[in-house]
Amino acid sequence: MSDRSKNRKIVFAAVAVVALVAVVFLRSGSGPSPGPKKGEDDATQWVDGDGSGASSPDSSRRQARALGISDSRSDDEAAEYLREQFGATIDNKRSQIKAIEKLINYLMKRYPDDWQSRLQALLAKAFPGLADQLYAQFQNMSSYNEWLKAHHDELAKMDPADRREALRDARSRFFGADAEEIFAETLKQDQIADAMAAIKDAHDTTVKEKLDTYMDAINDAFGEEAPQFIERRQTELLGRFVELPSVQDDLYAMSPEQRENELSNIRAAMGLDEQALTRWRTLDAERDAQWDTGEDYMRERDQIVKSSQGDEQARRLAELRTKTFGEDADTIRSEEDAGFFRFGHRRVYGKE
């Protein structure tokens, strides 16, 4: 079998996996919530600034052993653990929040009925000189999370930009000058999100100008750490950029050769080397062939649906699936029975 044939098989298998996931999604009738969700940053019951939280005694039980605190350990050992983990960075406001959350996890597990009454004493045991400051941070956390809970529905109805602004205002109100340090990572992500919002409908700029705006936001947000951040999140950052409506509109308006060059430029900006770019070009070519086949299939399918019905329609559709997809015809039929048509939507160049 030629390398090209092998690649086509691999791509088709990958598309099938994505499609089957979509089938499950459609059957479940579920979808993403438009607003903050429990377990995410700005929606946990106990926010630690990076999205983790302890929302119930049950969740704290699951996390306790990961913290190094077993059932048999005493409060003294828990305090020692906190000093070992956070002592060197406890003056950092973000570290303070994380330390408090770890302590809450421990206390909710060990003393589920009266954990709050024990918190201040254990903070004093772990960090005597900072006990009052840390307890004040705990109170700020509590107030902030109560506000989140009370305004959850309102936040969920906002568009992303307005929601980010409302959350920034609330953090500043509850944490004061400490908010910037506590939510440093979130603020960096907000900068990127703001840039994406600006790019989303920017139909009067080129792809290169959009990409420059995107990369500038990443570099401004992360500074010297930007290259490491980009390397860690390459696939995600690429996907988020190319799927923006204005970027897709630009890619659709290009010839295949122009689109190939533009996608290579985007990927190179994200740090992909020439070998990786070559692999991507090969994959794009395979995807192009798959979509050409799929779009031809959808046109023929529509004609059959319009011109026949009943058993005749079912027979003709089965013949078309077999002619077009061969051994994958049954998979295509199962997807269509579930209401999913893998080639029935607008293609996202660079992602499928």
DSSP one-letter code for 328:
G
Q: What is the number of other CB atoms lying within 10 angstroms of the CB of residue 225?
A: 12
Angle between helices 310-325 and 274-307 (to 10 degrees): 160
What is the rounded average pLDDT for all residues in the chain? 81
For the chain, what are the domain ranges? 1-37+293-352, 57-182, 185-272
Are the beta carbons of 267 and 238 closer than 8 angstroms?
A: yes
Q: Which pLDDT band, with edges at 50, 70 and 90, does 73 fall under?
A: low
Cα(28)–Cα(9) distance, rounded to whole angstroms?
29
pLDDT of residue 228: 93
Q: What is the number of other CB atoms lying within 10 angstroms of the CB of residue 148?
A: 20
CB burial readout 188-224, b (16+ within 10 A) else e: bebbbbbbbebbeebeeeebeebbeebbebbeebbee
Express each pLDDT in 98-157 by its tens digit.
Answer: 899 888 888 888 888 889 888 888 898 889 989 889 999 899 999 999 999 999 999 999
Q: What is the number of other CB atoms lying within 10 angstroms of the CB of residue 286?
A: 20
Share of the chain above pLDDT 70, in %: 79
Are the beta carbons of 182 and 100 closer than 8 angstroms?
A: no
Reply yes or no on whether the pLDDT at 31 is more than 60.
no
Are the beta carbons of 229 and 271 closer than 8 angstroms?
A: no
pLDDT of residue 6: 43
Cα(178)–Cα(185) distance, rounded to whole angstroms?
13
Q: Which pLDDT band, with edges at 50, 70 and 90, does 9 fall under?
A: very low
CB burial readout 338-352, b (16+ within 10 A) else e: bebbbbeeebebbeb
